Structure 1
Amino acid sequence: MRVLAFDLGARRTGVAISDASGTLARPLEVVQGPSLKAQWGALLDVIARAQADDEPLETVVVGVPRRLDGSPTDFTPAALDFVARLSRRIAVPVVPLDERLTSVEAEALLATREKDWRRRKAQLDAAAAAVLLQEYLDTRQRISPA
């Protein structure tokens, strides 16, 4: 069963998906819009496409931003509202996950492969979603090994 992840943003949301075994995460796409609310329909379409594949979705992970000290950011309430609305809308569990430093880690990983900063910037949100998803998958494996 696969897992989908969103790295939410006010203008861009990165999307990542796991392999069928739920072991490896990969960037999928970036959804753009003038606001998170404007991205809602496109993000539901991403979920619908993922659910229509041969391997069904098990979970959707949503990154919730926090400051380094763990306190909420200005965007945290919007992310938590998104989690609540999505939970009411879809049949699979929606798991909020602390996304501190995922963009920093994604930028570092992309910098080793892509020297052009414009191309890195275009890939950053989906790569951050993949970092977030991989963290979730790794933690899940440690908690309940197969």
Structure 2
Amino acid sequence: MSGRISALGLDIGKKRIGVAGCDGTGLIATPLTTITRVGFTDDVAKLQQLIAEREVTILVIGLPYSLAGEWGKQAQRTEKYAERLASVLKLPIEYMDERLTSIEAETQLKTKRGFSPRRDKAQIDAHAAAIILQQWLDHKRLTSH
């Protein structure tokens, strides 16, 4: 990858959207925040603020395939929501397979003192978004050579 990259990784769930960003070099994804979903307009307003602050040029969205790699209802819902977001935010989107990212995020967070999977669901969502974005960044780096 050449030039500056500014992407947001999104882990879209029914209740929350985990959000991650990357450094300008596109090497490292980090969890940023979690948006509690109240309504589409509210979600968009919160994302617009992050997009403006970070000068985002692309959204990377986790698609929840089934463990067997199949496209289920949740993946369809996520795609429909993502398409609406892309249209309103006027940003391109790319999808990444998000299977097991929440489990991986929870495993990583369990090493932190005071972490509780039941209490810290928002933290898990933001970390899952970072894993999704990191996978995309790594894939971009490998395929750009």
- % identity of equivalent residues: 34
- Helix, strand or coil: the match of 2:18? strand
- Helix, strand or coil: the match of 1:112? coil
Q: How far apart, CA to CA, are the structure 2 residues paired with 1:15 and 1:96? A: 14
Q: TM-score, normalised by structure 1?
A: 0.85
Deviations 1:58-96 (A, max 9, x none): 210111101111112331111010122122223331112
- Helix, strand or coil: the match of 2:20? strand
Where does the alignment leave 5 or more consecutive residues of structure 1 unmatched?
Answer: none
Q: How does 1:25-104 map to 2 (within 5 A)?
A: 25-33=29-37, 38=39, 40-53=40-53, 56-104=55-103
Deviations 1:22-77 (A, max 9, x none): 2111111111135xxx2x23332233223323x52121011110111111233111
* Residue 18 of structure 2 is aligned to residue 14 of structure 1: yes
> How large is the Cα RMSD of the aligned pairs?
1.8
Q: TM-score, normalised by structure 2?
A: 0.86
**How far 1:119 moved relative to its partner?**
5.2
Letter in 1 for 2:123: Q
Q: How many residues align?
A: 140
Where does the alignment leave 5 or more consecutive residues of structure 2 unmatched?
Answer: none
Runs (4+) of structure 1 moved beyond 4 Å?
A: none
Are residues 111 and 48 of structure 1, via their aligned partners in 2, closer, same or farther at CA, if it must alter by over 3 Å?
Answer: same
Compare 127-136 and 110-119 and name the one that shifted more.
110-119
